């Protein structure tokens, strides 16, 4: 047995190592810098703890999780490994004890929070003692490109300068290739050993479903897992409080957990979950780091998380024992906007990046490619399996619209008829029968596919086109993201293959306009809109006070409609269109139709309600 395995066996009692642990430990023993990316539960701690025992120098572990340090140190001490932590939670006496112990080389491992490196006395002390290596936990916190950037981490870039003889090892469970490169650059790692674990967790079964009712949806998953434990993630603290009491009322042994609760309440919640007094923890993102139960059978997202990184980390907490576990995500377009508001309000730096991550998460929800594949490729790992057999897409349990193939044929026909030269928005306009200048100029308002799908908003059509691309029926090419047919797409057109498109939720049957077909079953040409294009608005012109009030009301109405239809608000009307409505205050259907961005379909769908809101405003 090699010395590493001997140490692991002696102190931890493990008889074998997990994937990449040996490589990571060897890099540490050899004094090489390294970046180790292993999924949650992959056993990262052992990678720096075991080598520390083979070194005669101090290993400093940097972690942002102050609350866990005591626990980690207690466990090491129980195993007979001398270690200590030094952070703001220590009282003066303990500080003195640890500060005296460090120069006496009493500890193999010292856990500190990143802000400790702002203290020059502390850094000098480490300089005198001689540090063998630094293990940086949650290393992605150093990168602006990650989802958890922490300014404190930036200081760690000085470690390689200040301690040139010490090796630096970064550890993270979540790092896209961009974040990885950034971690290496920010920490100044020298020819690091790069180890990236397998992110495919075949025992996790992924499902993404449009939410109809948070309580009923979440309860259905909990009831499928009677006798097992699970986590339910919510966006806001209020959601946690509300859902917890609703679940309790329904007889579920649920407890809440969020950062707004006192430390005592949170510790109690964590203990209750660990010891089995509670079956379900309803939580915000604050819950999860350091959960020690490996038998979590399900993770439910009552709403969409704000990034794929969060999603991967949160769902990764299920099934760490390797047995099957369910990850069910309930979402609506409204979640996207809730996060957008929260992010805009709270994030002063990196706004664009945060919003990009949010969009990627939304695309994950509405996308149609294998969930496992999306996740592992997001983290830069090659995907070489055909199907995973463990997600709603691959197993065909995705909630799809009953007339998917027919709708797909309409979309694909339109792409063929317009010459495979346009992007999603243009094709959608043709399908919806919107006679824009470009469409009329090119004569596309004369095509049989013009106005072929009139009962869904543009956003849904665009989503469907991407879903067809996800399924390999279309390819997206070039800078202008032009849609091109694939051989598989042609098979759908000739009814030799079936396509699936998601069901975007309810639609009002009364407002649905069936298109008539001609004798050969082909759709008839849609009548061109006669009103012509409305005059251009005075773009950017400021609204007066009354119009601003109206704009607020119109936005509320848009929000309600979007919620009813389960679509993002912009799919109802863009903000620009609402501003135009507030400015011009149309009073009749004709005037309404004259607003830029309204169009015949939307006017039919929403006209009455918006006109009513405008009337009500004018009466006041």
Binding site for ligand ADP (CB under 6 A): 14, 17-18, 21, 38, 40-46, 173
User: Closer to ligand ADP at the Cβ: 14 or 122?
Assistant: 14
User: Closer to ligand ADP at the Cβ: 233 or 573?
Assistant: 233
Smallest CA-to-CA distance from 265 within 246, 241, 243 is with 241
CA dist., res. 557 & res. 575, Å (int): 12
CA dist., res. 574 & res. 560, Å (int): 14
Minimal distance in Å, beta carbon 152 to ligand ADP?
Answer: 20
Percent of residues in the chain assigned helix, strand, coil, to nearest 5 = 45, 15, 40
Strand partners, 194: 35
Minimal distance in Å, beta carbon 134 to ligand ADP?
Answer: 17
Task: Please work out, in degrees rounded to the nearest 5, the angle formed at the alpha carbon of residue 40 by the alpha carbons of 39 and 45.
Answer: 100
Report yes or no: 159 and 187 within 8 Å, Cβ to Cβ.
yes
CA dist., res. 76 & res. 52, Å (int): 12
Q: Name the residue with the smallest CB distance to ligand ADP.
A: 43
User: Closer to ligand ADP at the Cβ: 173 or 283?
Assistant: 173
User: Closer to ligand ADP at the Cβ: 65 or 261?
Assistant: 65
User: Closer to ligand ADP at the Cβ: 173 or 218?
Assistant: 173
CA dist., res. 470 & res. 481, Å (int): 14
- State the burial class of residue 226 (Cβ atoms within 10 Å of its Cβ: 0-12, 13-18, 19+): exposed
How far apart, in Å, are the Cα atoms of 522 and each of 252, 452, 516, 518?
54, 10, 9, 5
User: Closer to ligand ADP at the Cβ: 3 or 212?
Assistant: 3
* Tokens coding 473: 């029926």
Q: Read off the DSSP letter of residue 38.
A: -
- Which value, to the nearest 10 degrees, does the dihedral of the CA atoms of residues 404, 405, 408, 409 take? -150
Smallest CA-to-CA distance from 603 within 619, 591, 585, 617 is with 591
Report yes or no: 35 and 192 within 8 Å, Cβ to Cβ.
yes
Minimal distance in Å, beta carbon 115 to ligand ADP?
Answer: 21
User: Closer to ligand ADP at the Cβ: 50 or 254?
Assistant: 50
CA dist., res. 280 & res. 343, Å (int): 28
User: Closer to ligand ADP at the Cβ: 44 or 180?
Assistant: 44
* Tokens coding 476: 């997206």
User: Closer to ligand ADP at the Cβ: 148 or 470?
Assistant: 148
Element (H, E) at 30: none
Minimal distance in Å, beta carbon 453 to ligand ADP?
Answer: 47
Minimal distance in Å, beta carbon 139 to ligand ADP?
Answer: 12
User: Closer to ligand ADP at the Cβ: 14 or 490?
Assistant: 14
- Which value, to the nearest 10 degrees, does the dihedral of the CA atoms of residues 527, 506, 358, 195 take? -110
How far apart, in Å, are the Cα atoms of 158 and each of 46, 125, 153, 166?
25, 16, 10, 12
Minimal distance in Å, beta carbon 537 to ligand ADP?
Answer: 54
CA dist., res. 328 & res. 204, Å (int): 10
CA dist., res. 15 & res. 104, Å (int): 33
Minimal distance in Å, beta carbon 44 to ligand ADP?
Answer: 3
Minimal distance in Å, beta carbon 214 to ligand ADP?
Answer: 29
- State the burial class of residue 1 (Cβ atoms within 10 Å of its Cβ: 0-12, 13-18, 19+): exposed
Minimal distance in Å, beta carbon 39 to ligand ADP?
Answer: 7
Smallest CA-to-CA distance from 183 within 197, 169, 196 is with 169
Strand partners, 400: 502
User: What's the sign of the alpha-carbon dihedral 223, 224, 226, 228?
Assistant: negative
Backbone angles phi, psi at 284, to 5 degrees: -95, 180
Minimal distance in Å, beta carbon 486 to ligand ADP?
Answer: 40
How far apart, in Å, are the Cα atoms of 455 and each of 168, 193, 275?
58, 55, 52
Minimal distance in Å, beta carbon 57 to ligand ADP?
Answer: 22
Minimal distance in Å, beta carbon 46 to ligand ADP?
Answer: 4
* Tokens coding 173: 């469970």
How far apart, in Å, are the Cα atoms of 433 and each of 407, 410, 448, 519?
15, 13, 10, 22
Smallest CA-to-CA distance from 104 within 78, 123, 130 is with 130
Minimal distance in Å, beta carbon 609 to ligand ADP?
Answer: 50
User: Closer to ligand ADP at the Cβ: 42 or 334?
Assistant: 42
Range 127-143 burial, b when 16+ CB lie within 10 A, else e: eebebbbbbbbbbbbbb
Minimal distance in Å, beta carbon 372 to ligand ADP?
Answer: 19
Minimal distance in Å, beta carbon 493 to ligand ADP?
Answer: 48
């Amino acid at each position: 047995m090699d010395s590493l395995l001997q140490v692991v066996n002696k102190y931890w009692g493990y008889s074998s190592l997990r994937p990449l642990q040996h490589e990571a430990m060897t890099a540490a023993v050899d004094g090489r810098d390294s970046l180790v990316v292993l999924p949650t539960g992959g056993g990262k701690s052992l990678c720096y703890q075991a080598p520390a025992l083979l070194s005669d120098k101090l290993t400093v572990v940097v972690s942002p999780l102050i609350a866990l340090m005591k626990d980690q140190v207690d466990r090491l001490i129980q195993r007979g490994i001398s270690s200590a932590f030094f952070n703001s939670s220590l009282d003066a006496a303990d500080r003195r004890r640890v500060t005296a112990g460090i120069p006496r080389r009493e500890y193999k491992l010292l856990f500190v929070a990143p802000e400790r490196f702002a203290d020059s006395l502390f850094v000098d002390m480490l300089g005198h003692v001689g540090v063998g290596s630094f293990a940086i936990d949650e290393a992605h916190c150093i990168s602006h490109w990650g989802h958890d950037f922490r300014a404190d981490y930036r200081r760690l870039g000085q470690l390689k300068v200040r301690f040139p003889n010490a090796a630096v090892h970064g550890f993270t469970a979540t790092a896209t290739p961009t974040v990885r490169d950034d971690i290496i650059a920010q920490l100044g790692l020298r020819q690091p050993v790069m180890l990236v674990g397998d992110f495919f967790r075949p025992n996790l079964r992924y499902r993404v479903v449009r939410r109809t009712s948070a309580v009923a949806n979440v309860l259905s998953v909990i009831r499928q897992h009677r006798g097992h434990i699970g986590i339910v993630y919510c966006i806001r603290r209020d959601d946690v409080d509300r859902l917890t009491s609703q679940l309790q009322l329904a007889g579920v042994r649920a407890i809440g957990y969020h950062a707004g609760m006192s430390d005592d309440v949170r510790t109690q919640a964590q203990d209750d979950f660990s010891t089995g007094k509670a079956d379900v923890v309803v939580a915000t993102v604050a819950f999860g780091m350091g959960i020690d139960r490996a038998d979590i059978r399900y993770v439910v997202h009552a709403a969409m998380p704000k990034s794929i990184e969060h999603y991967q980390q949160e769902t990764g907490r299920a099934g760490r024992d390797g047995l099957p576990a369910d990850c069910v995500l309930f979402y609506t377009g409204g979640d996207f906007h809730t996060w957008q508001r929260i992010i805009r309000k709270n994030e002063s730096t990196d706004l664009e990046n945060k919003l990009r991550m949010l969009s990627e998460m939304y695309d994950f929800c509405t996308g149609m490619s294998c969930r496992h594949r999306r996740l592992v490729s997001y983290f830069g790992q090659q995907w070489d399996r055909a199907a995973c057999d463990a997600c709603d897409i691959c197993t065909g349990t995705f909630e799809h619209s009953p007339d998917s193939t027919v709708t797909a044929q309409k979309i694909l026909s339109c792409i063929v008829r317009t010459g495979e030269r346009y992007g999603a928005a243009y094709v959608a306009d043709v399908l919806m029968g919107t006679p824009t200048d470009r469409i009329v100029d090119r004569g596309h308002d004369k095509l049989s596919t013009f106005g072929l799908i009139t009962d869904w908003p543009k956003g849904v059509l665009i989503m469907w086109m991407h879903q067809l691309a996800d399924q390999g029926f279309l390819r997206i090419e070039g800078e202008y993201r032009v849609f091109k047919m694939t051989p598989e797409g042609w098979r759908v057109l000739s009814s030799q293959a079936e396509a699936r498109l998601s069901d975007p939720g309810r639609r009002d049957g009364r407002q649905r306009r069936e298109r008539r077909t001609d004798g050969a079953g082909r759709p008839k040409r849609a009548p061109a809109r006669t009103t012509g294009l409305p005059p251009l608005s005075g773009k950017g012109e400021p609204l007066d006070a009354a119009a601003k009030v109206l704009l607020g009301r119109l936005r509320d109405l848009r929000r309600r409609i979007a919620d009813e239809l389960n679509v993002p608000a912009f799919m109802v009307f863009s903000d620009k269109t609402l501003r135009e409505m507030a400015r011009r205050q149309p009073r009749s259907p004709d005037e309404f139709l004259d607003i830029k961005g309204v169009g015949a379909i939307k006017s039919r769908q929403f006209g009455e309600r918006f006109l009513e809101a405008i009337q009500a405003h004018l009466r006041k």
